[in-house]
A and B are shown apart, each in its own frame.
Chain A
Amino acid sequence: MMRWMKMSGILVILAMLAACAAPTPPAPTATPAGPAQPAAQPSPTPAASPTPAVKKIVLGFTASQTGKLTKESKEQVQGLQLWLEDLQRAGGIRLPDGTVIQVELKFYDDESTKERVQQLYVKLINEDKADFLISPYSSGLADAAAVIAEQYGKIMITTGAASDSTYEKGYQHIFQIYTPASRYLTGAIDFLKKLDPNARRIAIVYENEKFSTDVVNAAKPYAESQGFEVVLFEGYETGTTDFGPFINKIMAARPDAIIGGGHFQDGSTLAKQLFEKKVPVKMIALLVAPAVPEFAQLGDAAVGVIGPSQWEPGARYSPDSAKAAGLPWYGPTVDQFVSAYKAKYGYEPGYHAAGGYAAGLVLQKAIEEAGSIETEKVKAALEKMDLMTFYGRIKFDTGKAHGKQIGHEMVYLQWQKDASGNLIRPIIWPEAAQAAKPIYPLSR
């Protein structure tokens, strides 16, 4: 019997080792986008003026080319690369003193893990001499990168990272492009209240990680303040594939609506299993997953699912709306961005791509305004920034939550079938931006 127990002990330890030992795929792939040829620039002023001084800056970041965040990260990087292409076509960033700044992107695969992110941002700063940083995708990874950026005093524009808490740590160099998590699902609750005054019960099921917890911890008190009863409030582990137990709990709690989710993989699995089991609720609103174009692969299981989105191709930001709001306009129009993205990648961009582009654009504008690539001057320009772009309004908190996004607003989309049975995702909330009549209640 003793031998038995010893054996079992060894066995469990080894099994856990096996479970923990992360695989070590090959070295990171550096794919620097080639710097633009200075020769290819159209000369800004005819003849006379001397050849402008050309400076090169390195913009560093990590991409999740492997691991659970690949889909969202890929979109974000594609958006950023499109920005760089547009910038190169325009000849680079022109400073008031005539200097031309050429941008080079430098990135590595972070395998969707925090450990790699921190190693790689140190490498980007120390070895690759990155002048500015863009965050990796996801709140968790961006938070890990923010620690490094702040330690080394580098400006980092975060995109794909909505969690509020990163900006409540007193960092001075981190600037957020996304609407923060605390405002992610509040609109879905407003939507439910407006469409169905009789709806009372909400189940909140969410991924146990930084961003999703931030969202639901803000959504729960908001729902309660709006007169709803939260009948289930429970997190699931990252990487959960079997939502059976949650679905049985949801069935038992008899909610009118389910909100929550986490990221693409778990969110789409949850949506699929809710559909397979025909869970009778009137509304489902999930984070992230519905806003990723691949969500359409779920087919009928996608229909009716609502998702908050930072931005949609149908967004109505324009130079005119900027004028109406008394804000300066900067960068391409929505149509220009959408058609350029479609031409390059073959499909419509989602908000992850738009966020990637916007991150580049905001940095570009800040460098222009600062007339310099010095960190402190660019930082001051970012703090002063208040403008409208194709992606919406951009304005950063300069008070206690330094760097937090306070200008940008969410929209809500819903997967629907058009007349010919194709899946589309029109904006259904806020009402002012509504592009289609919402499906409510769900017919399941």
Chain B
Amino acid sequence: MVSPGVWIASLIDGLLLGFVYGLAAMGLTLIWGVMRVINLAHGPIIALGMFGVYLLFAYGGVHPYLGLFAVALLGLLVGILIYAIAVHRVLTAPHLSTLLATFSINMMIIGTGTALFTTTPRNIDISLGRLVLGPVVLLGTRLLAALAAVLIAAGLYVFLYRTTLGKMVRAVASNRAAAELMGIPSARVLAFSFGLGTMLAAVAGGLIATFFPFTILSGGAYELKSFVICVLGGLGNPTGALLGGLILGALEGLIPIVLPVSWVPVIEFLLFVLLLLLRPQGLLGER
């Protein structure tokens, strides 16, 4: 039957991708955690991250990993812009308003992106070699992407728990009115948090672009994965998102060994529904 080497190789493949999925999901979960907004422009932002790295690389000759820094900064600014234009005004309205507002942004980005870039797939052609350990072949680009995801997740944790600005973000998240009374400029903190969320999504997109081909529509698949991951880990919980990403990645790696690959989404969403029924607060969420 299937040798243990195949299981290990598939698991590691899945986990390496899982870190990047987790990173993207952290962006979604952070925005939810701070302002109770589900960002439906999450997918296109991921795609914009891909295109950011691609355009810098293809036209500016910037190495993709250097390009990521620029993409991070742009992601932050774009997020703040989206917040100011579309989200701030409807923040206290019922949830459907923020859903529709971010969904409009989603359609605008996709429409403009299709007009500008068409839906012809793009590719960033770099190779960082490979590492062969018995049955396991590790690709440099995937390893580096996983490493970057871990570092960024750690950075986010330090930021939220160890810096003044991070503490402000958490204060606004737990009680906006009280934070405002303590002199925290909540509108600006919210804008910044939204920016931070889109930054994470854009960087995750940039990392994915270094190993998979993509179009402006590619973000959609990762957006769906992000939702599953967020629910899995507990919405609003960045650590949970990373854990959820790893679980999803592992499933994507392991399920195909025993079932046809087309069953993967079926099982993923079955899990999603079961979790909503049995443990709606997620694995790491509090009731």
Contact = CB atoms under 8 A, between A and B. Distances in A.
A293 to B, nearest CB: 16
Nearest to B223: A15
A93 to B, nearest CB: 35
B220 to A, nearest CB: 4
| Range for the number of chain B residues in contact with chain A | 35 or more
Contact of A8 (B214, B264, B276): B276
A277 B211 CA distance: 13
Nearest to B224: A15
A55 interface: no
B256 A15 contact: no
A297 B96 CA distance: 47
A245 B252 contact: yes
Interface residues of A, number: 47
Contacts of A269: 212-213
DSSP class of A's interface residues: helix, strand, loop or mixed? helix
B9 A251 contact: yes
B96 to A, nearest CB: 7
Nearest to A113: B119
Interface in A205-260: 208, 234-237, 241-242, 244-246, 248-249, 251-252
Contacts of A66: 114, 118-120
B180 interface: no
A246 B114 contact: no
Contacts, number: 135
A242 B212 contact: yes
B223 A18 contact: yes
A269 B212 CA distance: 8
B267 interface: no
Contact of B119 (A23, A235, A252, A276): A23
Interface string A1-27: 100110110111011111101011110
Given A11-B227, A15-B227, A25-B115, A248 B261 contact: no
Interface of A: 1, 4-5, 7-8, 10-12, 14-19, 21, 23-26, 65-68, 70-71, 111-112, 208, 234-237, 241-242, 244-246, 248-249, 251-252, 265, 269, 276-278, 297
Smallest CB-CB A-B distances: 5 pairs: A245-B256, A23-B114, A241-B212, A66-B118, A19-B220
21 contacts: A1-B280, A7-B95, A10-B96, A14-B99, A14-B103, A15-B220, A19-B223, A23-B111, A23-B217, A24-B114, A65-B118, A112-B119, A236-B262, A245-B255, A245-B257, A249-B257, A251-B6, A265-B213, A276-B137, A277-B130, A278-B132
